[in-house]
Chains A and B, each alone.
Chain A
Amino acid sequence: MPRVAYDDSALTVWQGSDALKFIDGLSSNKMLDMVKGELCQTVFTSSQAKIIDLATVFHMGDFLAVHSHRSKLTALLNHVTPRILNQDVAILDVTSRNQFCIEYDCSNSVVGRFELKDDITYGYVAEGFSLLIASVDVECTCVGGIIEFNEWRIENQIPWNGYEISEKQHPLSAGLAHLVHPNKGCYIGQEILARMISRGRQGKILLRIENGDIDDKFVTTHGEKYSLAIIRDTRQ
Protein backbone atom coordinates (compact mmCIF):
# COMPACT_ATOMS: atom_id res chain seq x y z
CA MET A 1 0.00 0.00 0.00
CA PRO A 2 1.28 3.51 -0.73
CA ARG A 3 2.40 5.69 2.13
CA VAL A 4 2.80 9.42 2.43
CA ALA A 5 4.47 11.42 5.20
CA TYR A 6 2.07 13.32 7.44
CA ASP A 7 4.32 16.10 8.60
CA ASP A 8 1.61 18.44 9.88
CA SER A 9 1.00 16.08 12.79
CA ALA A 10 1.00 16.66 16.50
CA LEU A 11 0.77 14.05 19.23
CA THR A 12 -0.26 14.87 22.75
CA VAL A 13 -0.80 12.58 25.70
CA TRP A 14 -3.84 13.35 27.83
CA GLN A 15 -3.59 11.84 31.29
CA GLY A 16 -5.91 11.81 34.29
CA SER A 17 -9.18 10.25 35.31
CA ASP A 18 -11.22 13.02 33.66
CA ALA A 19 -9.39 13.03 30.30
CA LEU A 20 -11.95 11.08 28.26
CA LYS A 21 -14.91 12.94 29.72
CA PHE A 22 -13.07 16.20 29.11
CA ILE A 23 -12.56 15.49 25.39
CA ASP A 24 -16.12 14.21 25.08
CA GLY A 25 -17.47 17.43 26.56
CA LEU A 26 -15.58 19.62 24.12
CA SER A 27 -15.87 17.80 20.81
CA SER A 28 -18.42 16.49 18.34
CA ASN A 29 -18.17 12.70 18.56
CA LYS A 30 -19.19 10.41 21.38
CA MET A 31 -16.05 9.29 23.18
CA LEU A 32 -17.27 7.99 26.52
CA ASP A 33 -17.78 4.41 25.35
CA MET A 34 -14.20 4.04 24.15
CA VAL A 35 -12.09 1.25 25.60
CA LYS A 36 -8.41 0.38 25.43
CA GLY A 37 -7.29 -0.47 21.92
CA GLU A 38 -9.89 1.66 20.20
CA LEU A 39 -9.48 4.89 18.33
CA CYS A 40 -12.04 7.51 17.48
CA GLN A 41 -11.97 10.70 15.49
CA THR A 42 -13.65 13.81 16.80
CA VAL A 43 -13.79 17.48 15.93
CA PHE A 44 -13.18 20.35 18.32
CA THR A 45 -15.42 23.22 17.28
CA SER A 46 -15.76 26.87 18.23
CA SER A 47 -18.94 28.49 19.53
CA GLN A 48 -19.75 29.24 15.87
CA ALA A 49 -19.31 25.51 15.11
CA LYS A 50 -16.20 26.20 13.03
CA ILE A 51 -13.46 23.62 13.09
CA ILE A 52 -10.64 24.18 15.55
CA ASP A 53 -9.04 20.83 14.80
CA LEU A 54 -9.75 17.25 13.86
CA ALA A 55 -8.36 14.85 16.43
CA THR A 56 -7.79 11.11 16.37
CA VAL A 57 -7.95 9.75 19.89
CA PHE A 58 -6.15 6.50 20.74
CA HIS A 59 -7.32 4.87 23.98
CA MET A 60 -4.09 3.51 25.45
CA GLY A 61 -5.60 2.22 28.70
CA ASP A 62 -4.11 4.51 31.32
CA PHE A 63 -4.10 7.56 29.10
CA LEU A 64 -5.17 8.90 25.72
CA ALA A 65 -2.85 9.65 22.82
CA VAL A 66 -4.36 12.40 20.72
CA HIS A 67 -3.21 12.93 17.15
CA SER A 68 -4.01 16.42 15.92
CA HIS A 69 -2.25 18.93 13.68
CA ARG A 70 0.94 20.84 14.34
CA SER A 71 -0.38 23.91 12.52
CA LYS A 72 -3.40 24.02 14.82
CA LEU A 73 -1.95 22.76 18.08
CA THR A 74 -1.64 26.20 19.65
CA ALA A 75 -5.25 27.02 18.78
CA LEU A 76 -6.41 23.68 20.13
CA LEU A 77 -4.50 24.02 23.38
CA ASN A 78 -5.68 27.61 23.81
CA HIS A 79 -9.20 26.28 23.41
CA VAL A 80 -8.98 23.39 25.86
CA THR A 81 -6.49 24.25 28.58
CA PRO A 82 -8.48 27.12 30.18
CA ARG A 83 -11.30 24.64 30.61
CA ILE A 84 -9.33 22.08 32.61
CA LEU A 85 -10.00 24.05 35.82
CA ASN A 86 -9.83 21.57 38.69
CA GLN A 87 -10.42 18.45 36.61
CA ASP A 88 -7.89 15.64 36.61
CA VAL A 89 -6.39 16.27 33.18
CA ALA A 90 -2.76 16.80 32.22
CA ILE A 91 -1.52 17.21 28.66
CA LEU A 92 1.98 16.38 27.43
CA ASP A 93 3.33 17.24 24.00
CA VAL A 94 5.23 14.26 22.55
CA THR A 95 5.16 15.35 18.90
CA SER A 96 8.93 15.61 18.54
CA ARG A 97 9.39 12.01 19.68
CA ASN A 98 7.36 10.60 16.83
CA GLN A 99 7.03 10.35 13.08
CA PHE A 100 3.74 10.12 11.22
CA CYS A 101 2.51 8.84 7.92
CA ILE A 102 -0.64 7.79 6.12
CA GLU A 103 -1.04 4.41 4.47
CA TYR A 104 -3.82 4.66 1.93
CA ASP A 105 -5.69 2.72 -0.72
CA CYS A 106 -6.14 0.03 1.95
CA SER A 107 -9.00 -2.36 2.59
CA ASN A 108 -9.07 -2.22 6.37
CA SER A 109 -11.47 -4.86 7.60
CA VAL A 110 -11.40 -3.41 11.11
CA VAL A 111 -11.99 0.30 11.61
CA GLY A 112 -11.76 2.18 14.89
CA ARG A 113 -8.97 0.12 16.40
CA PHE A 114 -5.20 0.23 16.45
CA GLU A 115 -2.39 -2.27 16.81
CA LEU A 116 1.36 -2.36 17.08
CA LYS A 117 3.25 -4.02 14.23
CA ASP A 118 7.03 -3.85 13.90
CA ASP A 119 7.12 -1.00 16.45
CA ILE A 120 4.71 1.05 14.35
CA THR A 121 1.24 1.87 15.64
CA TYR A 122 -1.31 1.29 12.90
CA GLY A 123 -4.46 3.29 13.53
CA TYR A 124 -7.27 2.00 11.34
CA VAL A 125 -9.09 5.29 10.91
CA ALA A 126 -11.21 4.35 7.92
CA GLU A 127 -11.61 1.48 5.52
CA GLY A 128 -9.40 3.18 2.99
CA PHE A 129 -6.57 4.58 5.10
CA SER A 130 -4.57 4.15 8.28
CA LEU A 131 -2.66 6.59 10.43
CA LEU A 132 0.80 5.26 11.25
CA ILE A 133 2.72 6.60 14.23
CA ALA A 134 6.18 5.46 15.26
CA SER A 135 8.96 6.64 17.48
CA VAL A 136 11.58 8.65 15.59
CA ASP A 137 14.04 5.82 16.40
CA VAL A 138 12.03 3.34 14.33
CA GLU A 139 12.45 2.86 10.61
CA CYS A 140 9.16 3.84 8.97
CA THR A 141 9.44 4.49 5.27
CA CYS A 142 7.02 6.97 3.73
CA VAL A 143 8.10 7.66 0.17
CA GLY A 144 4.81 8.42 -1.55
CA GLY A 145 4.08 11.77 -3.11
CA ILE A 146 1.42 14.21 -2.08
CA ILE A 147 0.06 14.50 -5.65
CA GLU A 148 -0.80 10.81 -5.82
CA PHE A 149 -2.27 10.96 -2.34
CA ASN A 150 -4.45 13.92 -3.25
CA GLU A 151 -5.67 12.12 -6.39
CA TRP A 152 -6.68 9.21 -4.19
CA ARG A 153 -8.41 11.59 -1.76
CA ILE A 154 -10.32 13.24 -4.60
CA GLU A 155 -11.38 9.86 -5.96
CA ASN A 156 -12.67 8.82 -2.54
CA GLN A 157 -13.84 12.24 -1.40
CA ILE A 158 -11.68 12.25 1.73
CA PRO A 159 -11.35 15.70 3.34
CA TRP A 160 -7.93 16.66 4.69
CA ASN A 161 -6.45 19.14 7.08
CA GLY A 162 -5.29 22.32 5.38
CA TYR A 163 -7.45 21.64 2.33
CA GLU A 164 -11.07 21.02 3.18
CA ILE A 165 -10.61 20.96 6.95
CA SER A 166 -10.00 24.52 8.02
CA GLU A 167 -11.19 27.06 10.57
CA LYS A 168 -13.46 28.52 7.88
CA GLN A 169 -15.58 25.38 7.70
CA HIS A 170 -17.85 23.56 10.08
CA PRO A 171 -17.68 19.75 10.24
CA LEU A 172 -20.72 19.26 8.02
CA SER A 173 -19.42 21.37 5.14
CA ALA A 174 -15.95 19.84 5.41
CA GLY A 175 -17.23 16.31 4.86
CA LEU A 176 -16.94 15.32 8.51
CA ALA A 177 -20.64 14.80 9.22
CA HIS A 178 -19.89 11.21 10.27
CA LEU A 179 -17.94 12.65 13.22
CA VAL A 180 -20.88 14.68 14.50
CA HIS A 181 -22.67 12.27 16.81
CA PRO A 182 -26.44 12.80 16.70
CA ASN A 183 -27.15 11.55 20.21
CA LYS A 184 -24.62 13.11 22.49
CA GLY A 185 -24.92 15.88 25.02
CA CYS A 186 -23.84 19.45 24.70
CA TYR A 187 -20.44 20.60 23.51
CA ILE A 188 -19.27 23.90 22.12
CA GLY A 189 -20.88 24.44 18.72
CA GLN A 190 -23.40 21.64 19.21
CA GLU A 191 -26.50 23.83 19.11
CA ILE A 192 -25.59 25.21 15.68
CA LEU A 193 -24.73 21.81 14.22
CA ALA A 194 -27.86 20.21 15.68
CA ARG A 195 -29.97 23.00 14.17
CA MET A 196 -28.37 22.56 10.75
CA ILE A 197 -28.96 18.81 10.84
CA SER A 198 -32.54 18.98 12.11
CA ARG A 199 -33.50 21.60 9.53
CA GLY A 200 -31.58 19.89 6.73
CA ARG A 201 -29.69 23.11 6.05
CA GLN A 202 -25.98 22.84 6.32
CA GLY A 203 -25.17 25.50 3.77
CA LYS A 204 -22.13 24.14 2.00
CA ILE A 205 -21.15 20.61 1.13
CA LEU A 206 -18.03 18.81 -0.02
CA LEU A 207 -18.22 17.52 -3.58
CA ARG A 208 -16.00 15.86 -6.15
CA ILE A 209 -16.32 17.86 -9.34
CA GLU A 210 -14.88 17.70 -12.82
CA ASN A 211 -12.31 20.40 -13.41
CA GLY A 212 -13.81 23.47 -15.03
CA ASP A 213 -17.33 22.73 -13.80
CA ILE A 214 -17.24 25.39 -11.12
CA ASP A 215 -15.33 28.53 -10.23
CA ASP A 216 -11.79 27.79 -9.05
CA LYS A 217 -12.32 29.75 -5.84
CA PHE A 218 -14.49 26.93 -4.49
CA VAL A 219 -11.89 24.25 -5.17
CA THR A 220 -10.13 22.95 -2.07
CA THR A 221 -7.97 20.20 -3.61
CA HIS A 222 -6.92 20.40 -7.24
CA GLY A 223 -6.55 17.16 -9.17
CA GLU A 224 -5.64 16.32 -12.72
CA LYS A 225 -9.18 15.75 -14.00
CA TYR A 226 -11.32 16.00 -10.91
CA SER A 227 -11.09 18.16 -7.81
CA LEU A 228 -12.69 18.52 -4.40
CA ALA A 229 -14.72 21.63 -3.76
CA ILE A 230 -16.88 23.03 -0.99
CA ILE A 231 -19.89 24.70 -2.51
CA ARG A 232 -23.31 25.86 -1.43
CA ASP A 233 -25.84 23.08 -1.74
CA THR A 234 -28.41 24.42 -4.20
CA ARG A 235 -30.89 21.70 -3.25
CA GLN A 236 -31.50 23.40 0.11
Chain B
Amino acid sequence: MDCGTCETPDSVQVVTPEVVNVNLTISSKAQEMLGNAFGDDRSMALLVGVLSGGCSGYVYDLQIVESTDQSCQEVVIDGFKVLIPNASSHLLDGIEIDYVDRLMGGGFRINNPNAESSCGCGESFA
Protein backbone atom coordinates (compact mmCIF):
# COMPACT_ATOMS: atom_id res chain seq x y z
CA MET B 1 0.00 0.00 0.00
CA ASP B 2 1.36 3.38 -0.97
CA CYS B 3 -0.11 5.91 1.44
CA GLY B 4 1.97 8.75 0.13
CA THR B 5 2.69 9.90 3.64
CA CYS B 6 6.43 10.12 2.99
CA GLU B 7 5.69 12.74 0.35
CA THR B 8 2.87 15.21 0.21
CA PRO B 9 0.07 14.11 -2.07
CA ASP B 10 -2.68 16.61 -2.71
CA SER B 11 -5.19 16.91 0.06
CA VAL B 12 -8.80 16.31 -0.75
CA GLN B 13 -10.35 19.67 -1.43
CA VAL B 14 -12.35 20.70 1.59
CA VAL B 15 -14.79 23.49 0.92
CA THR B 16 -14.45 25.84 3.85
CA PRO B 17 -17.64 27.80 4.42
CA GLU B 18 -17.34 31.55 4.66
CA VAL B 19 -16.99 32.92 8.17
CA VAL B 20 -20.20 34.59 9.27
CA ASN B 21 -20.50 37.32 11.88
CA VAL B 22 -22.66 35.51 14.36
CA ASN B 23 -25.66 37.11 15.97
CA LEU B 24 -27.01 35.24 18.95
CA THR B 25 -29.30 35.73 21.88
CA ILE B 26 -29.43 34.23 25.35
CA SER B 27 -32.82 33.71 26.98
CA SER B 28 -33.38 35.14 30.45
CA LYS B 29 -33.52 31.64 31.96
CA ALA B 30 -30.22 30.72 30.28
CA GLN B 31 -28.67 33.96 31.53
CA GLU B 32 -29.77 33.10 35.05
CA MET B 33 -28.23 29.64 34.80
CA LEU B 34 -25.04 31.01 33.24
CA GLY B 35 -24.86 33.48 36.13
CA ASN B 36 -25.00 30.54 38.54
CA ALA B 37 -22.29 28.70 36.60
CA PHE B 38 -19.93 31.66 36.18
CA GLY B 39 -20.49 33.31 39.57
CA ASP B 40 -18.87 36.70 39.73
CA ASP B 41 -15.96 35.65 37.58
CA ARG B 42 -16.72 37.00 34.12
CA SER B 43 -13.21 36.34 32.81
CA MET B 44 -14.41 32.88 31.73
CA ALA B 45 -16.24 32.40 28.47
CA LEU B 46 -18.94 30.14 27.12
CA LEU B 47 -17.60 28.36 24.03
CA VAL B 48 -20.41 27.38 21.68
CA GLY B 49 -19.04 25.11 18.97
CA VAL B 50 -20.17 22.38 16.62
CA LEU B 51 -18.63 18.95 16.12
CA SER B 52 -19.46 16.21 13.64
CA GLY B 53 -21.54 13.32 14.91
CA GLY B 54 -24.88 12.60 16.46
CA CYS B 55 -27.98 11.23 14.75
CA SER B 56 -28.26 14.26 12.50
CA GLY B 57 -24.61 14.86 11.62
CA TYR B 58 -23.66 17.80 13.82
CA VAL B 59 -23.62 18.08 17.60
CA TYR B 60 -23.35 21.18 19.73
CA ASP B 61 -20.32 21.53 21.94
CA LEU B 62 -20.79 23.83 24.94
CA GLN B 63 -17.89 24.45 27.26
CA ILE B 64 -16.91 27.02 29.85
CA VAL B 65 -13.32 27.96 29.07
CA GLU B 66 -10.68 30.46 30.06
CA SER B 67 -9.32 30.58 26.53
CA THR B 68 -9.13 28.42 23.42
CA ASP B 69 -6.67 27.75 20.61
CA GLN B 70 -9.49 27.86 18.09
CA SER B 71 -9.95 30.91 15.94
CA CYS B 72 -13.08 32.42 17.45
CA GLN B 73 -15.27 35.46 17.38
CA GLU B 74 -16.31 36.93 20.69
CA VAL B 75 -19.77 38.16 21.51
CA VAL B 76 -20.58 39.77 24.84
CA ILE B 77 -24.19 39.66 25.97
CA ASP B 78 -25.12 41.19 29.31
CA GLY B 79 -21.60 40.67 30.56
CA PHE B 80 -21.37 37.04 29.43
CA LYS B 81 -18.51 36.38 27.04
CA VAL B 82 -19.48 33.89 24.32
CA LEU B 83 -16.89 32.42 21.94
CA ILE B 84 -17.95 31.07 18.55
CA PRO B 85 -15.34 29.16 16.51
CA ASN B 86 -15.11 30.68 13.04
CA ALA B 87 -15.11 27.18 11.50
CA SER B 88 -18.68 26.61 12.67
CA SER B 89 -19.96 30.19 12.53
CA HIS B 90 -22.05 29.44 9.40
CA LEU B 91 -24.03 26.91 11.44
CA LEU B 92 -24.60 29.12 14.45
CA ASP B 93 -25.70 32.51 13.15
CA GLY B 94 -29.03 33.50 14.68
CA ILE B 95 -29.10 30.91 17.46
CA GLU B 96 -30.79 31.37 20.78
CA ILE B 97 -29.15 29.81 23.83
CA ASP B 98 -31.97 28.68 26.04
CA TYR B 99 -32.27 26.70 29.25
CA VAL B 100 -34.94 24.05 29.70
CA ASP B 101 -35.83 23.36 33.29
CA ARG B 102 -36.88 19.70 33.32
CA LEU B 103 -35.92 16.70 35.40
CA MET B 104 -35.30 14.64 32.26
CA GLY B 105 -33.68 16.13 29.17
CA GLY B 106 -33.27 19.50 30.80
CA GLY B 107 -30.30 21.84 30.54
CA PHE B 108 -28.95 24.27 28.01
CA ARG B 109 -30.57 24.04 24.61
CA ILE B 110 -29.77 25.70 21.32
CA ASN B 111 -32.60 26.94 19.15
CA ASN B 112 -31.04 27.11 15.73
CA PRO B 113 -32.77 28.61 12.68
CA ASN B 114 -30.12 26.98 10.44
CA ALA B 115 -31.09 23.46 11.50
CA GLU B 116 -33.23 21.61 8.96
CA SER B 117 -33.84 18.86 11.47
CA SER B 118 -32.70 17.83 14.89
CA CYS B 119 -32.77 14.66 16.91
CA GLY B 120 -34.96 14.06 19.91
CA CYS B 121 -32.31 14.80 22.50
CA GLY B 122 -31.73 18.27 21.01
CA GLU B 123 -27.96 17.83 20.91
CA SER B 124 -27.73 16.90 17.25
CA PHE B 125 -28.90 18.77 14.17
CA ALA B 126 -28.57 18.78 10.41
Contact pick for A12, options B12, B49, B57, CB 8 Å: B12
Query: A-B pairs with CB below 8 Å: how many?
Result: 105
Q: A188-217: contact bitstring with B at CB < 8 Å (1 yes, 0 no)?
A: 111100000000000000000000000000
Q: Is A25 an interface residue (CB 8 A)?
A: yes
A26 & B52 in contact (Cβ 8 Å cutoff): yes
B14 & A60 in contact (Cβ 8 Å cutoff): no
A90 & B85 in contact (Cβ 8 Å cutoff): no
State the interface size on chain A (CB cutoff 8 A): 43
**Which residues of B have CB within 8 Å of A116?**
1
B58 & A83 in contact (Cβ 8 Å cutoff): yes
A186 & B55 in contact (Cβ 8 Å cutoff): yes
**Which residues of B have CB within 8 Å of A22?**
52
Say whether chain A's binding surface is mostly helix, strand, loop, or mixed: mixed
A81 & B15 in contact (Cβ 8 Å cutoff): yes
A25 & B5 in contact (Cβ 8 Å cutoff): no
A90 & B11 in contact (Cβ 8 Å cutoff): yes
Q: Is A161 an interface residue (CB 8 A)?
A: no
B4 & A92 in contact (Cβ 8 Å cutoff): yes
Q: Is B51 an interface residue (CB 8 A)?
A: yes
A25 & B3 in contact (Cβ 8 Å cutoff): no
Give chain A interface residues in 1-52, CB to chain B under 8 Å.
11-13, 15, 22, 25-26, 47
**Which residues of A have CB within 8 Å of B5?**
13, 15, 62-63, 92
Q: Interface residues, chain A, CB within 8 Å of chain B?
A: 11-13, 15, 22, 25-26, 47, 58, 60, 62-63, 65, 77, 80-87, 90-94, 97-98, 116, 121, 133-137, 185-191
